[in-house]
Structure formats: structure tokens, C-alpha cells
């Protein structure tokens, strides 16, 4: 991190499961116990033992009584949020072509796992280890 452009202390990134190779885990990280049974912020499926992911600061509650919570996000679901859908990564989506692509019959988690697999294919082609 360049001190000239980043004068504030970076908050710790909380992650669970086995560490993976991503810039967000390069600096100030704390490994926490996997929040088994809690729903993923993005796909809604419960975290299982052995899953990898991040704890994300989230606002819940009401406008009058907002509550900040830390909620789990599978690493692949977080990746999919950052990169977009598989259709987008492959240039088949509406934002890339102006035409609706085939609606996906996958669940959000399946879609996220497909994005992770696609990223790992690209990494392998570049001689890099999988995430």
C-alpha cells in the first residue's frame, strides 16, 4: 500500500477457511472460525465446514434503527459479486452484447462456483495456482 495515497489504517479483513491467493488477503487479515450454519450474504446458503470466505460489514435493521453486522460471504460468491456473472466474463451478457443471454438455471452458489472455476482456468493458462 502506498503511504502517499493511503493515510488511514486499513481495517483488518476477516476471513475463514483455508487462505487463498487474492489481493484482499495480502495485508491486514485475521482468520476467524468458519461461521458454520450462518447464511452467506450473497447466495443465502449456509456456510459449511471447509468453506472459504470473508466476513463482510453489512447494514441490517430499519432506517430508524440501523444495525451493523458482520456476515459471512463465500469467497466464490464474493468473487462473483466483484467480477460479474460467468456470462459477463465470457462477454455473452446483456451489458456486453445488448442482447439478453440465456437465463441461467443455476443457483447463485452454482453460478459463483462456475465463476471461480473460470477464474482458475484463466490462472492455469497463465501458469498460476488456483485460488
Residue ranges in contact with Zn ion by CB under 5 A: 40, 42-43, 74, 77, 88, 93, 95-96
CB of 79 to Zn ion, least distance (A): 10
Closer residue to Zn ion (CB): 43 or 54: 43
d(CA 82, CA 59): 19
Q: Which is nearer to Zn ion, 6 or 48 (CB)?
A: 48
Residue 28 Cβ, how far from Zn ion at the closest point, in Å?
Answer: 24
Judged by beta carbon, residue 22 or residue 96, the one nearer Zn ion is 96
CB of 60 to Zn ion, least distance (A): 17
Which residue's Cβ lies closest to Zn ion? 40
**Are the beta carbons of 99 and 62 closer than 8 angstroms?**
no
Which of 77, 114 has the CB closer to Zn ion? 77
For residue 5, what are the contacts with CB-CB under 8 A and spacing of at least 6? none
Question: Which has the closest alpha carbon to 50: 30, 29, 75, 69?
Answer: 75
Distance between CA atoms of 78 and 100, rounded to whole angstroms?
Answer: 24
CA pair distance 48, 33, nearest whole angstrom: 11
Least gap, CB of 62 to Zn ion (angstroms): 25
Amino acid at each position: 500500500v502506498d503511504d502517499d495515497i493511503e493515510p488511514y489504517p486499513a481495517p483488518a479483513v476477516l476471513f475463514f477457511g483455508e487462505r487463498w491467493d487474492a489481493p484482499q488477503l495480502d495485508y491486514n487479515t485475521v482468520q476467524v472460525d468458519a461461521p458454520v450454519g450462518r447464511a452467506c450474504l450473497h447466495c443465502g446458503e449456509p456456510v459449511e465446514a471447509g468453506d472459504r470466505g470473508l466476513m463482510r460489514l453489512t447494514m441490517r435493521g430499519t432506517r430508524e434503527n440501523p444495525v451493523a453486522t458482520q456476515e459471512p460471504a463465500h469467497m466464490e460468491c464474493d468473487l462473483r459479486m466483484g467480477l460479474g456473472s460467468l456470462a459477463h466474463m465470457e462477454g455473452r451478457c446483456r451489458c456486453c452484447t445488448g442482447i439478453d443471454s440465456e437465463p441461467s438455471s443455476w443457483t447463485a452458489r452454482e453460478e459463483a462456483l462456475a465463476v471461480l472455476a473460470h477464474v482458475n482456468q484463466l490462472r492455469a493458462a497463465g501458469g498460476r495456482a488456483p485460488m
